[in-house]
Amino acid sequence: MTSDKLSIAVFGASGRMGTSVIELLKSEYAGRARLEAAIDSHSGNLDDLAKVTTVIDFSLPDGTSALVDWMEQSKNPLPNLLCGTTGLTDEHYSRLRKLAKTTLVLHTNNFSTGVAALSAILRYASPMLKSLAYDARMIETHHIHKLDAPSGTAKTLAQALDPLGPDRIDIESVREGEVVGKHEVVFTSAADQISIGHNATDRTLFARGAIDAALWLDQLDESSGIYTMETYFQARFRS
């Protein structure tokens, strides 16, 4: 008997994020999705991806490279790919865009819809505040185990603040304790400040966002294309 549950492989399965995705798949999402494979560098097998319709990647850039290598060489229909790994290079993005010609790919530096909403707010507010002579800067704070700085989310928010020159936004990276992920944007004029930000207090936020986005991607009519969390956010919450 075939199941209509989404069959999912988690890549980066033993990590903080992979563990969180797996726990949710086995509990809250058990009626809608099932964990078919759990893969990382010391357990599971990339060939298990041939059995699934979706792979959720929360690994490290080398892991994403290995995953994309496998997908590029696969002779089977490819699973949809939801990639949350941060610190990716231009080469990674170019390979993800190429893969998106044959399957559905969603990469995001932040799977929370709160950050997608913040991004949309900044895209709207930033030109207005700039014309009123406010300067924007950002402070991002994460746990001490995080390898990349500035965070991928900070880079995404900088893109929303200044689409033509995200590198112009001054970003301060703070690493302390077990902070899940905090981003604060401060607009400063000669006489006042406006602050707006997002504070993730539990990483299930990202895990839940990834599974929700996977379920959404699976019901699209398209079989290929590249998506972001902002496109998902707009389709789900604004239509």
Ligand X SMILES: NC(=O)c1ccc[n+]([C@@H]2O[C@H](COP(=O)([O-])OP(=O)(O)OC[C@H]3O[C@@H](n4cnc5c(N)ncnc54)[C@H](OP(=O)(O)O)[C@@H]3O)[C@@H](O)[C@H]2O)c1
233 binds ligand X (CB under 6 A): no
Q: With binding defined as CB under 6 A, does residue 108 bind ligand X? A: yes
Closest CA to 119 of 75, 72, 152: 152
Pick between residue 89 and residue 223 the one whose CB is nearest to ligand X. 89
Residue 35 CB-density burial (10 A; 0-12 exposed, 13-18 middle, 19+ buried): buried
Count of residues interacting with ligand X (CB under 6 A): 25
Name the residue nearer to ligand X (CB basis): 109 or 187.
109
Residues of span 60-79 touching ligand X by CB under 6 A: 60, 62-63, 66
Show the site string, 44-63: x = touches ligand X by CB under 6 A, - = not: --------------xxx-xx
Q: For ligand X, give the closer residue by CB, 53 or 110.
A: 110
Single out the residue of 80, 103, 109, 126 in contact with ligand X (rule: CB under 6 A).
Answer: 109
Q: Is 92 in the site for ligand X (CB under 6 A)?
A: no
CA distance readout (Å), 178 to 15, 40, 61, 142: 15, 23, 22, 7
Q: Does 116 bind ligand X (CB under 6 A)?
A: no
150 binds ligand X (CB under 6 A): no
What CA–CA distances, in Å, run from 64 to 8, 60, 205, 206? 16, 6, 21, 18
Minimum CB distance to ligand X smaller for 134 or for 183: 183
One DSSP character per residue, 18-63 reads: HHHHHHHHHTTTTTTEEEEEEE-SSSS-GGGGGG-SEEEE-S-HHH
As a whole number of angstroms, the distance between CA 155 and CA 62 comes to 20
Closest C-alpha among 77, 68, 20, 83 to residue 229: 83
Q: Which of 130, 143, 146, 198 is catalytic?
A: 146
Of 23-31, 85-93, 185-193, 213-221, which part binds ligand X (CB under 6 A)? 85-93
Q: Is 206 in the site for ligand X (CB under 6 A)?
A: yes
Task: Give me 144's structure tokens.
Answer: 């001490």
Catalog residues that contact ligand X under the rule CB under 6 A: 12-18, 40-42, 58-60, 62-63, 66, 84-87, 108-111, 206
Which residues does the annotation mark as catalytic?
142, 146
